[in-house]
Amino acid sequence: MSKSKSKTVDWTHIASKFPIFKERPGYLFFDNASTTQKPKTVIDCLGNFYRRDCANAGRASYQMSTNLASAIENARARVSSFIGAKSGEVAFTSGATQSLNMVALGWGLKNLKDGDEILLCPDDHKSTVLPWYNLQDLLASFGIRIYIKTIPLHHEGDYDLSAIDALLSDKTRLLAMTHVHHLYGLDMEVDLVRKIVGDKVLISLDASQSVGHRRVDLGTLPVDFLSFSGHKMFASNAVGVLWTKPSIEASMHPVIAGGGSLKETGTQNIPAILSMVPAIDFIESIGIDAISERLSDLTRHLYFSLRQSVSGLEFSPGVDRCGCHRGFGIVSFRHESVSSSDIAFLLDSENIMVRSGDHCLGRKLQGDDYLRVSLHVYNTKDEIDRLVCVLASNLASTN
Ligand SMILES: Cc1ncc(COP(=O)(O)O)c(C=O)c1O
């Protein structure tokens, strides 16, 4: 990954690179953990493919086809260097969900034996959690029983590390975990988890909420699989990445058989893959460390403004409880008497978009009715102030 120095950025100018904000003046988009908006360069890349370059990639000998094959390899090289990997180690998928399922099916089906154990946290995203229960069912139908042991969350919102230590056994084969939590916004401390589980247990890391928000460098991240989506880092929908440690690659089985390679079968979403390049260009034009610092700064501003100005809020685990006040753009909370869905409707009537309702936690949480505000580089403190002002003037405390 290229080392970018933190630099002075004109943050007020960033939104102008995103056509949607010209189309919808005054709209505040605070649902960036769901998906990000797209810069014009990404939209142009998608349009150019269909307008100018549409062919299948590498299936034929004419230039338009061979050029596309080269463009895909260029995108692969670009994505790889962005995450500190080598080009051949990265496969394009349809998104993080497909990548995470490919780990469970491509590795798990081939390698797990009767009695083996998987560790995961049910408070992680469904896409991190459910592929392993699906695999458990599949293997059971062949008479192979695997056991899923669940890691509880610490009250702050990160994993209870002592529980991981206690759950570990000589049957533990893989631990599935998240890099930055999609609801609580915390860094889940991969290094500490690796220290506890040692070298023999594989780690599958869901980096959907960290890539594009903070530096993700496989040169230092001690994991065996890394999965993420393009659409949460300014690229198109329906493209994702699965990085597999080279030493494990040979032990994997194709999940879907057909033309292509082990992990990329059939005609891929070529324009979506190509859009990863302008998305990374955009991120690198600002600098990932500058983005990371900006997101922390915005998170703090959001958190402290809410605390100061809006009464009756209860914050979820995350920035409120960890005391570190280092955030990656996600703050979740609920009100003592007004449901989060009602608040979301109210905000929508003011053209402010936030997430409420089902947060895709791996288990159905009782009272999982948080309102999630998730930020990215085009958001500003003025926008946050408008959100806080609308909340403060509409939510009265019952105390
Ligand atoms: C942590 C996490 N993992 C996985 C996913 C699934 O991503 P996708 O729907 O792009 O496959 C999401 C999406 O919200 C997520 O936040």
Query: CA–CA separation, 280 vs 275, rounded Å?
Result: 9
What are the residues whose beta carbons fall under 8 Å from the beta carbon of 164, sequence distance 6 or more? Answer: 119, 151, 175, 193, 196, 197
Across-strand partners of 334? Answer: 314
What would the two tokens of residue 231 be? Answer: 């659409």
| Ligand 1 pocket member 178 (CB < 6 A) | yes
CA–CA separation, 333 and 343 (whole Å): 11
100 Cα nearest atom in ligand 1: 4
Indicate whether residue 229 lines ligand 1 (CB < 6 A): yes
pLDDT at 258: 87
In short, whether 209's Cβ falls inside 6 Å of ligand 1 is: yes
Fold of 11-38+287-394: Aspartate Aminotransferase, domain 1 (3.90.1150)
State in Å: Cα 148 to ligand 1 middle: 21
Ligand 1 neighbour 31 (Cβ under 6 A): no
Task: Return all residues near 38 (Cβ < 8 A) that are at least 6 apart.
Answer: 18, 20, 234, 235, 236, 275, 279
80 lines ligand 1 (CB under 6 A): no
95 in contact with ligand 1, CB cutoff 6 A: yes
pLDDT of residue 313: 96
Higher pLDDT, 320 or 193: 193
Break the chain into its structural domains and give their ranges: 11-38+287-394, 44-283
Sign, CA torsion 117/196/331/343: positive
Q: How confident is the model at residue 190 (pLDDT cuts 50, 70, 90)?
A: very high
Average pLDDT, integer, range 32-42:
98
Nearest CA to ligand 1 atom 14: 34
Q: What is the pLDDT of residues 335-389, one digit of tens each?
A: 999 999 999 999 999 999 999 988 888 876 555 689 999 999 999 999 999 999 9
Is 38 touching ligand 1 by the criterion CB < 6 Å? no
Confidence check: pLDDT of 1 > 60: no
pLDDT at residue 208, rounded to an integer: 98
User: Does the CB atom of residue 236 touch ligand 1 within 6 A?
Assistant: no
Residue to probe by mutation, ligand 1, list 35, 124, 127, most atoms within 8 Å of CB: 127
H/E element, 64: helix 63-82
Distance (Å) from CA 358 to ligand 1 centroid: 13
Q: How high is the pLDDT of residue 6?
A: 52
Find how far residue 261's CA is from the centre of its chain.
25
What is the 35 CA–ligand 1 centroid distance (Å)? 9
Supply the pLDDT for residue 2: 47
Evaluate if residue 399 carries a pLDDT over 60. Answer: no
pLDDT tens-digit profile of 6-33?
Answer: 568 999 999 999 999 999 999 999 999 9
For 183-201, letters b (16+ CB in 10 Å) and e give: bbbbbbebeebbebbeeeb
Residue located nearest, by CA, to atom 15 of ligand 1: 208
Expressed in angstroms and rounded, the spacing between residue 14 Cα and the centre of ligand 1 is 25
- Ligand 1 and 182: CB distance under 6 A: yes
Which residue in 72, 35, 395 sits closest to 236, CA to CA? Answer: 35
The whole-number average pLDDT for the span 299-323 is 93
Our answer on whether the CB atom of 244 is closer than 6 Å to any ligand 1 atom is: no
Spell out the CATH class of 44-283.
alpha beta
- Of the pLDDT bands very low, low, confident and very high (cuts 50, 70, 90), residue 117 is very high
- Quote the pLDDT of residue 326: 73
For residues 169 and 117, is the Cβ–Cβ distance under 8 A?
yes
Name beta bridge partners: 355.
372
pTM: 0.96
